[in-house]
Amino acid sequence: MANELLAKSGDEPITLREHLQQVADYALMVVGAYRKHWELLMGRETAEKVSKALLLAALTHDLGKAADGFQRSLQERKFRWEFRHEVLSASLLLSTMPNDETFEWAILAVLTHHRDLNDSQLAQDCGYVALPMPEIVRKAQEKFQSKAEELQRHWQWLQEFWRSHPELQSFTLPEAPKAITLPTDFLKCQMKAVDGLTNLTERKSLALLLTRGWLMASDHAVSAGVNQFLSQVPKPQLPPLRTFQRIAGEHEGNAFLEAPTGSGKTNAAITWALRNRKGGERIFYLLPYQASIEAMADTLERLFGKENVAVLHARALDYAFRQHFEETGEYESAAEKAKAETELNRLAHKPIKVATPFQLLKWLFGIPRFEIGVSEMVGGLFIFDEIHAYDAHVVALIAEMVHLLKQLGGRFLFMSATFPPFLKRLLKEALDDDAPEFGLDSATKDKWTEQFLNQVRHILRLHDITLEEMMPDIVEAIRQGKKVLIVANRVAQAQEIYRQLKEEFDGIHLLHSRFTRKDRVEKERAVINALRGKRSDILVRALVATQIVEVSLDISFDTIFTEVAPVDDLLQRFGRVNRYGEHPEGVEVHVACQFDRDRLIRVYDEERLTKTLEFAPEDGALLTVDKAAVWVREVYGSGWTSKEQKRYEQAKCAFENVLSYLKPLFRHSEGEEEFYGLFQSVEVLPSKLYAEYDAHMQEKRYLLANQLLVPIPLGTFHMLNNAGLLTKQNGTLIANVAYDSELGLLPKEVDIDASFIF
């Protein structure tokens, strides 16, 4: 290797020849997986050109690294070459270019595989200077020429490499590097052409996006040591399908599935995805919450193997680290394994992705290298589970994303246990498709379906008092030996109820989103394991919780006392009671119908709460699947409330505007800022934990330090900031308020839980 040109140095150096061949091989696998979808979108001729452009770019993207200065920079860490190697790579390709758009797309992909087309450093090295004064232009030209001449020593190697690849043989390199010219005019022309593109789905936009996106994806994968692009998935061993699962699973194309919790939506979704797969396109299983994502990932890994399933959300690294740290107790190895696992999942490598919708949306807001994500989504199969869980703002974003992805060959399955009809209408409009609806209806009845539909798990009890006034009934239920779930809508409210119950009973637990990451995970696991019989040392008489219990815990209680919430949220809360049908006769679920209006309107839309109570079944009603579905339909019969409709329209308009400016090869900083502005929460460190946090930071145990942070919504952030209770130390936001491992963060008042992660 001593005489070989290198692509990268370090502990495991790789030669330039090896790297280029590996990237080309990876790109070929991508072409094999996606070619059918490209032909459907762009026609056979254009798909062929994109395939050729991608391979040309893969074989040539790093040839500029053959320059003496770049090779020296790999050997001498202190030496800075100070020139973009991809400019030389693109110039080499440009020097052989016929008048052919395939070469044009390849050159642009090579030129931008590290920097965007509007990057100032890239433009300067191409001779396209911000101030085109004669002296500045001359210096740029001289600099380029001197860097190009550094290829002279290895010019024979470059020519031999060129001749050894059939894809390059038709085009001849110049006799010497001095014949290579600045790509200034090419860059100017292409910047103008790309700026004139109107949307991502037009032919040239899509061709540029796919060529650049898959070149970067291939380069990243190979650089990370991943040489196989996985396109096939093993056939999973599923239990015998129920009638509704079989019918929904056999459908080809877009569909809706409404089925209660516990009926088996997941197996129906898997069957649908495998039925609709045409090549190596990706399967995206999308959920709103971290806990449900991790649970689904476990399920899919058992069915398809961990090597085929990627978990994508903002806390994925923390989750992976906790798992490995608990197994080994050793920080360095756990952190190393977690980082490697998380990075592998981020690559365009594994064919099944379990993620939040925000992991897809971020690409459409134009974050750096958005072409990678959009390229991978082309022709994709998208399963939206728990689609009811999103508010009007997020639904608007999802609907616009669906509309675009449908034009890129995407196919969609929307699923929910409670599916408001107006939400189906909005999604059908986004699809421009009157997709069929499946569920446990009369057309699919069999013995199991009939029994499931007629089963009564819950008996609705409505109380015209507040949750706090129901304390005597809660206490009595605990005394009777029932395992009781109490759900409050505000954190401070839950903390106070917990305090009162702790004075009278042991075995009382509290769960909300204002704990440190470490404490919250420990509490969730303690309650789950105790209720499943895995922890005999932990007593659970009652759990006091906030909205996070609606989807985060796969557990079952004997009864519930909850403050009123929108009907779909209430039904999700009820789903944590008699979850497995352990009480065949059904159990009472208690709803407090009175609430503190001034506080609760910061949490829920008052109009939605009013309709939930107006259309509620009578007190004492047996809540069958059908009766619950009727309740949802009546509450949401007229669609969004006026406040929700306004938020929906504003979000839709804003996102349409973002998409209108999205162009391949360009950086879109405004869209990136808007995307991260969606997440209305901040993480703070309780001052009590600063010493422990600082010790971890000093020892560079950063992932352990992160476990001590607490998420708070922006409303609470502003309250604390205005009161002078927030300080910053070494970049960390410190909350100078009390923190208790039993109660969580204790500011004067805390707003609604921040529901979603990205």
> What secondary structure does DSSP assign to 580-640, as a single string?
T--STT-EEEEEE----HHHHTTTS-HHHHHHHHHTPPPTT-EE-HHHHHHHHHHHTTT-S
Hey, how many other C-beta atoms are within 10 angstroms of the C-beta on 244? 26
CA–centroid distance for 238 within its chain: 26
pLDDT of 695 above 90:
yes
What's the mean pLDDT in 518-526? Answer: 90
What's the mean pLDDT in 125-134? Answer: 87
The helix/strand/coil state of 8 is strand
pLDDT (tens digit, 9 = 90+) per residue, 462-503?
999 999 999 999 999 999 999 999 999 999 999 999 999 999
pLDDT (tens digit, 9 = 90+) per residue, 283-322?
999 998 877 888 899 999 999 999 999 999 888 888 888 8
> Which amino acid is present at 365?
F
pLDDT of residue 756: 47
Q: Which of 23-32, 293-302, 440-449, 668-677 has the highest mean pLDDT?
A: 23-32
Asked if residue 623 lies in contact with residue 456, where contact means CB atoms within 8 angstroms, the answer is yes
Domain locations in the chain as residue ranges? 6-223, 243-442, 456-623, 679-746
From residue 622, give the alpha-carbon distance in Å to each of 458, 461, 462: 6, 10, 12
The angle, 0 to 180 degrees and rounded to 10, between the axes of the packed helices 203-223 and 44-60 is: 40
From residue 332, give the alpha-carbon distance in Å to each of 99, 329, 591, 718: 54, 9, 49, 37
Least confidently predicted of 53-57, 421-425, 577-581, 648-652: 577-581
pLDDT of residue 287: 94
pLDDT of 692 above 90:
yes
CA distance 85 to 47: 29
The band of 366, judged by pLDDT with boundaries at 50, 70 and 90, is very high
Asked if residue 621 lies in contact with residue 630, where contact means CB atoms within 8 angstroms, the answer is no
CA distance 691 to 409: 53
pLDDT of residue 751: 40
What's the mean pLDDT in 133-157? Answer: 93
pLDDT of residue 670: 82
From residue 363, give the alpha-carbon distance in Å to each of 37, 374, 402, 671: 20, 6, 13, 10
pLDDT of 753 above 60:
no
Q: What burial letters (b/e) apply to 346-364, b meaning 16+ CB within 10 Å?
A: bbbbbbbbbbbbbbbbbbb
- Of 427, 362, 422, 378, give the one whose Cα is nearest residue 400: 427
Q: Which residue has the tokens 């990678």?
A: 372
The secondary element (H helix, E strand) that includes residue 214 is helix 203-223
Paired with 736 in beta bridges are none
pLDDT of 553 above 90:
no
Query: For the whole model, what pTM was predicted?
Result: 0.93
CA distance 136 to 169: 37
Greater model confidence, 12 or 611:
611
Superfamily of domain 456-623: P-loop containing nucleotide triphosphate hydrolases (3.40.50.300)
Length of the chain, please? Answer: 758
pLDDT (tens digit, 9 = 90+) per residue, 155-207?
999 999 999 999 998 888 999 999 998 999 999 999 999 999 988 999 999 99
Q: Which residue has the tokens 């740290």?
A: 325
Asked if residue 574 lies in contact with residue 550, where contact means CB atoms within 8 angstroms, the answer is no
% of residues, the chain, pLDDT over 70: 97
What's the mean pLDDT in 120-135? Answer: 89
**Structure tokens of 571?**
């039904």
The band of 552, judged by pLDDT with boundaries at 50, 70 and 90, is low
CA distance 431 to 38: 20
Paired with 745 in beta bridges are 739
In the chain, the largest separation of any two C-alpha atoms, in whole Å, equals 92
pLDDT of 752 above 60:
no
pLDDT (tens digit, 9 = 90+) per residue, 395-454?
999 999 999 999 999 999 999 988 888 999 999 999 999 999 999 875 667 788 888 888
pLDDT of residue 699: 95
What's the mean pLDDT in 513-540? Answer: 90
pLDDT of 1 above 50:
no
The helix/strand/coil state of 352 is strand
What's the mean pLDDT in 60-79? Answer: 95
Hey, how many other C-beta atoms are within 10 angstroms of the C-beta on 688? 16
> Which amino acid is present at 268?
A
Write down the mean pLDDT value for the chain. 92
pLDDT of residue 442: 56
Q: Which residue has the tokens 């995805």?
A: 273
> Which amino acid is present at 507?
G
- The answer to whether domain 6-223 and domain 243-442 are alike in fold is no
pLDDT of 754 above 90:
no
Task: Check if CATH label 3.40.50.620 holds for domain 243-442.
Answer: no
pLDDT of residue 680: 61
> What secondary structure does DSSP assign to 464-530, as a single string?
SS-TGGGHHHHHHHHHTT--EEEE-SSHHHHHHHHHHHHHH-SSEEEE-TTS-HHHHHHHHHHHHHH
What's the mean pLDDT in 531-538? Answer: 87
CATH number belonging to domain 6-223: 1.10.3210.30
Paired with 382 in beta bridges are 284, 412
- Of 471, 422, 502, 458, give the one whose Cα is nearest residue 622: 458
pLDDT of residue 590: 98
Hey, how many other C-beta atoms are within 10 angstroms of the C-beta on 741? 13
Least confidently predicted of 4-8, 220-224, 329-333, 445-449: 445-449
pLDDT of residue 395: 96
Beta strands across the sheet bearing 732-735: 710-713, 681-686, 732-735, 726-729
Asked if residue 348 lies in contact with residue 27, where contact means CB atoms within 8 angstroms, the answer is no
